[in-house]
Structure 1
Amino acid sequence: MNYHIGIVEDDPNIQNIVSAFLKKEGFEVTILNSAEEGLQLWSENPPDMWILDIMLPGMDGYEFCKKIRNESNVPIIIISAKDEEIDKILGLELGGDDYLTKPFSPRELVARVKRLFKRTTPSITPHEDQEKVKVGPLVIYKNDRRLFWDGMEQDVTTKEFDMILLFAENVNRAFSREELLVKVWGEDYFGSDRAVDDLVKRIRKKFAEMPLETVWGYGYRLRFNEE
């Protein structure tokens, strides 16, 4: 399958370099100079992934990310010259799946694109044959990356799915914020552990009845009574 990637970036040099590296790996690429052009593409030929700059003419990348995330869980990688901690946290809180600070290595970006597709692409394993994780009213089909709560399928982002799955596979185990950063964001993520708190906050908002507990001064755990 040739994945289609939309690049929303107004710098011609970055456009050309990123596009060339992605096309070399077999990806179909569409370059957009503004968020407004990106929304037009979204309505006509939605990409399988977005690579998104924050500082854009007109609508900024944060607003664009928010609009896309309100409609879809399509993977979004944010690239930005903004390297302050608050900028990274905001990007991830609004639904970005990854954040790269300029200047960055095109090869590193390609590696992250491949890794994100690998994590988010459903398998073709028959539903009944898939590995299933069940904890109370929570049911997760790992291959299809589908999540059900109390019998109803729920829409979750990549990071939300990864964190809930980690907790579900380790019920009642407390994870430190540092552990969660490594296991959910990867060892190459250098952002603040506040990203963990923000992700937990989003999960709790979607799943008010999920017993996701704070372990004060340490981290979090999913608490279920063992039968």
Structure 2
Amino acid sequence: MNYHIGVVEDDINIQNIVSAYLRKEGFTITVLGSAEDAWQLWETQPPDMWILDIMLPGMDGYDFCKKVREESDVPIIIISAKDEEIDKILGIELGGDDYLTKPFSPRELVARVKRLFKRARPANQETEQDVDKVKIDDLLVRKNDRRLFWKGQEIEVTTKEYDMLLLFAENVNRAFAREELLVKIWGNDYFGSDRAVDDLVKRIRKKLDDIQLETVWGFGYRLRSEEE
């Protein structure tokens, strides 16, 4: 599939390097110098992924990320010269799927883009239809098309919200440590704090009222079900 990526960055050198590496991998790239221009693209020809700088003229990257996330779970990679932990946490809280600090390796960016697309695209069709589904109480996860239903209603979730819910649903009643969840959901190369796990759980609980996603104090979380 020929994915379309929007690169929102006002530094011309970074624009050229990032777009060159991504185009070499076969991606279609649209480069924009401001969040306002990016929003116009979003309304007319929305990309399949955003690579988003934080320090932009006018609307900053945080506000743009928040606006996009209110409408879609499209993958967002944040790139920024800010390397403080609070900035990384804020980016994740607002819905970013990954965070890279400048200066970064273009090859590493390409690897993260590919990994996010691999997580976001539907899995291959299974031979048995039921293999596609995981149902725990009021939660139904359809793996083939990455759709999630709660109490019979389809719920829009981000990539990481989906990944966490599928992990819990496939391991119901098992307690996961925060550190383990960081590795399984964000990957081995994630360098932020485990507060990202708490924030993701908080967002899931807000979207799925009454879900039995329990806190295991001093350890982590588990999805409880009396049916198992």
The answer to whether the superposition gives a TM-score over 0.5 is yes
Query: Quick check: 1:130–1:141 contact (8 Å CA) kept in 2?
Result: no
Displacement after TM superposition at 1:207 (Å): 1.0
Aligned residue in 1 for 2:14 = 14
Displacement after TM superposition at 1:129 (Å): 6.1
Is 125-134 or 35-44 further displaced after alignment?
125-134
2: CA distance, partners of 1:195 / 1:203: 12
Is 116-125 or 153-162 further displaced after alignment?
116-125
Kindly report which structure 2 residues correspond to 1:58-69, keeping only aligned pairs within 5 A, or say none: 58-69=58-69
Among the aligned pairs, what percent are the same residue?
77
Displacement after TM superposition at 1:144 (Å): 1.0
Displacement after TM superposition at 1:94 (Å): 0.7
2: CA distance, partners of 1:131 / 1:123: 9
Aligned residue in 2 for 1:87 = 87
2: CA distance, partners of 1:173 / 1:69: 30
TM-score by length of 1: 0.97
Q: Segments of 4+ in structure 1 off by > 4 A?
A: none
2: CA distance, partners of 1:2 / 1:176: 37
Query: Quick check: 1:6–1:30 contact (8 Å CA) kept in 2?
Result: yes
Aligned residue in 2 for 1:224 = 225
2: CA distance, partners of 1:158 / 1:88: 18
TM-score by length of 2: 0.96
Query: Quick check: 1:52–1:78 contact (8 Å CA) kept in 2?
Result: yes
2: CA distance, partners of 1:197 / 1:78: 20
Displacement after TM superposition at 1:124 (Å): 6.3
Aligned residue in 2 for 1:183 = 184
2: CA distance, partners of 1:176 / 1:223: 15
The total of aligned residue pairs comes to 227
2: CA distance, partners of 1:125 / 1:30: 31
2:131 matches 1:121 = no
1: CA distance, partners of 2:105 / 2:143: 31
Aligned residue in 2 for 1:98 = 98
Give the secondary structure class of the aligned counterpart of 1:148.
strand
Q: Report the residue type matching 2:120 in the other structure.
A: T
The CA RMSD over aligned residues, in Å, is: 1.4
Structure 1: which 5+ runs fail to align?
none
Give the secondary structure class of the aligned counterpart of 1:89.
helix
Structure 2: which 5+ runs fail to align?
none
Query: Quick check: 1:174–1:220 contact (8 Å CA) kept in 2?
Result: yes
Give the secondary structure class of the aligned counterpart of 1:62.
helix
